[in-house]
């Protein structure tokens, strides 16, 4: 069975475990696609542990429509990911508006009449381990482009959660250029400071990536706190186009014991698309993970109408032997069917009336909710812009501050456990082997020599092998 993975410009066809790229056009087989995370409403919540597995989806749907702010008047396609803990069920719900699905895939449906399976982009990275043979661990996968940006977290190679991060289109707006110009700038000069004649342009780019990776750092802490992970082993960085110099952040993550790598697999095609084609080839039979509403109809013999037709033919043959008795039986069955049809019509009418009533009473609520959300978005946007401009005007670039501290830590053979900056105040935790704990004092002296104020430290913990201290200072 051929499995086809569709993109806007081409298709990837998996036949006999060999993936081939072809020009966009109709191909017979199982048709699959991936839905970008930006089209998905992701709602995470907890349910009581005493709920039976068979009732989880029902209880999860109740939560979404009562506390998840979903619109009763709209239709949704929902996929759930459940994880069992000792004292509760963790639920990750992925909700897509039916109209959104129709708009996203309407052009594909002109070529492919049906789409059998649609996955969510954050799920795709699970096939990375199968493709590469890398041992499954606790890893994060960063996806960064101009219109899509998220971090997908996996525990022992299985999907755990996903969170959005800032798209590159935001950086393009800050620089006053379009997305194509930004792609060219990042691929040629990227994060290499010496390549820029305009220091202000580099400062904006550096600040963007510094804030981006600090948010990812917070997500690392979030994974250990909310999902009880014992740490993150790797961060794999993917972008559909080149970002020169992104490896400069390797040292930043290495200080936290995390390996930072570009997302790479052995293929001549785009690595994410190749991974998605492999993932869909393996998972398309899983209806519980399928976002598609464009399912092809069942063969005639599997349809209810087909089964009725076949059964009717059988009845006709039997009637030939005993026409009188079967004729009477058929008439009785027709009367029963008519009664059932009348009941169904009454139920449909009642259902329509209830839908209209719900729509009427929720319309005003929806309008008010929309106004509140729009006002909140405007306030957040203005706040973000003011904060960004203030930091750009008055603050030392965070990446440069972190780089200075990294150089000193490496010089004195110390390991950074935690780094936080609040205004002009910096707080960090550093660790040394018990044999070179005096290097912490040397590190403090170096900070004073660099002009930092109110430098002091206090011991947090010491053992036979390590010494941990908390260091504070002001810029």
CA 219 to CA 261: how far, in whole Å? Answer: 17
Confirm if 463 and 434 have CB atoms less than 8 A apart.
yes
CA-nearest of 457, 415, 417, 453 to 436 is 415
The angle that helices 199-226 and 398-411 make with each other, rounded to 10 degrees, is 70
Q: Locate 21 and state its tokens.
A: 């790229």
- Flag the least confident range among 16-20, 169-173, 318-322, 448-452: 318-322
pLDDT, residue 314, reads 47
pLDDT value at residue 309? 46
Is residue 300 over pLDDT 50?
no
Please determine, for residue 201, whether its predicted confidence score (pLDDT) is greater than 50: yes
The whole-number pLDDT of residue 369 equals 73
- What is the pLDDT, as a whole number, of residue 103? 97
DSSP state of 245: T
Find out whether 306 and 300 touch, Cβ atoms under 8 Å. yes
- Residue 387 above 80 pLDDT? no
Does the pLDDT value for residue 1 go beyond 80?
yes
Q: At what angle do helices 323-394 and 304-321 cross, to 10 degrees?
A: 170
> Do 160 and 222 touch, CB atoms closer than 8 A?
no
Q: What percent of the chain has pLDDT over 90?
A: 59
Q: Does residue 306 carry a pLDDT above 50?
A: no
Name the phi and psi angles at 113, rounded to 5. Answer: -65, -30
Please give the average per-residue pLDDT across 196-202, as a whole number.
Answer: 93
Q: CA quadruple 71, 72, 73, 78: dihedral positive or negative?
A: positive
Label residue 95 by pLDDT band (50, 70, 90): very high
| pLDDT score recorded for residue 304 | 53
98-157: pLDDT as tens digits: 999 999 999 999 999 999 999 999 999 999 999 999 999 999 999 999 999 999 999 999
CA angle 325, 328, 333 (to 5 degrees): 125
Rounded Cα–Cα distance for residues 354 and 334 (Å): 30
Range with top average pLDDT, 67-81, 153-167, 393-407, 413-427: 153-167
Angle between helices 398-411 and 438-449 (to 10 degrees): 140
Q: DSSP assignment of 388-432, as one string? A: HHHHHHHSPPHHHHHHHHHHHHHHTT-EEEEEEEETTEEEEEEEE
Q: What is the pTM of this model?
A: 0.65
pLDDT digits (tens, 9 = 90+) for 177-191: 999 999 999 999 999
Backbone angles phi, psi at 7, to 5 degrees: -125, 175
Smallest Cα–Cα separation from 79: which of 162, 167, 165, 150?
162
pLDDT value at residue 220: 96
User: What is the model's pLDDT at position 313?
Assistant: 53
The Cα 50–Cα 89 span in angstroms is: 9
Tell me the per-residue pLDDT of 261-280, one tens digit each, with 9 for 90 and over: 999 999 999 999 999 999 99
């Amino acid at each position: 069975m051929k499995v086809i993975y569709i993109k806007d410009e081409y298709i990837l066809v998996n036949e006999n475990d060999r993936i081939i790229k072809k020009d966009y056009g109709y191909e017979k087989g199982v048709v699959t696609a991936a839905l970008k995370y930006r089209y998905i409403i992701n709602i995470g919540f907890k349910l009581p542990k005493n709920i039976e597995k068979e009732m989880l989806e029902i209880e999860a749907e109740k939560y979404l429509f009562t506390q998840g702010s979903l619109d009763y008047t709209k239709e949704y396609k929902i996929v759930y990911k459940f994880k069992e803990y000792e004292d509760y069920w963790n639920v990750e719900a992925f909700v897509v508006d039916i109209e959104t699905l129709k708009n996203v895939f309407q052009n594909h449906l002109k070529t492919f009449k049906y789409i059998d399976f649609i996955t969510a982009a954050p799920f795709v990275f699970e096939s990375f381990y199968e493709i590469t043979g890398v041992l499954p661990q606790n890893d994060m996968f960063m996806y960064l482009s101009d219109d899509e940006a998220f971090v997908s977290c996996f525990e022992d190679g299985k999907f755990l959660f996903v969170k959005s991060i800032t798209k590159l289109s935001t950086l393009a707006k800050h620089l006053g250029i379009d997305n194509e110009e930004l792609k060219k700038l990042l691929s040629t000069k990227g994060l290499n400071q010496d390549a820029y004649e305009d220091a202000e342009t580099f400062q904006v780019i550096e600040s963007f990536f510094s804030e981006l990776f600090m948010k990812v750092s917070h997500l690392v802490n979030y994974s250990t706190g909310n999902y009880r992970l014992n740490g993150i082993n790797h961060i794999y960085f993917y972008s559909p186009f080149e970002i020169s110099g992104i490896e400069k952040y390797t040292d930043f993550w290495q200080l936290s014991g995390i390996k930072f790598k570009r997302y790479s697999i052995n293929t001549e095609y785009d690595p994410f698309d190749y991974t998605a084609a492999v993932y869909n080839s393996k998972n398309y039979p899983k209806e519980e993970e399928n976002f598609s509403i464009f399912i092809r109809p069942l063969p005639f013999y599997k349809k209810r109408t087909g089964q009725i037709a076949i059964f009717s033919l059988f009845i006709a043959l039997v009637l030939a032997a005993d026409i009188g008795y079967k004729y009477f039986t058929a008439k009785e069955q027709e009367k029963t069917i008519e009664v059932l049809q009348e009941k169904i019509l009454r139920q449909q009418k009642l259902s329509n009336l209830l839908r209209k009533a719900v729509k009427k009473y929720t319309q005003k609520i929806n309008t008010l909710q929309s106004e509140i959300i729009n006002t909140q978005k405007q306030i957040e946007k203005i706040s973000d812009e003011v904060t960004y401009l203030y930091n750009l005007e008055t603050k030392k670039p965070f990446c440069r501050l972190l780089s200075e501290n990294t150089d000193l830590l490496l010089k004195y053979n110390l390991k950074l456990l935690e780094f936080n900056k609040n205004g002009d105040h910096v707080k960090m935790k550093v660790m040394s082997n018990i044999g070179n704990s005096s290097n912490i004092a040397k590190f403090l002296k170096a900070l004073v020599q660099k002009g930092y104020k109110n430098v002091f430290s206090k011991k947090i913990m010491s053992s036979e092998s390590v010494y941990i201290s908390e260091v504070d200072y002001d810029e």
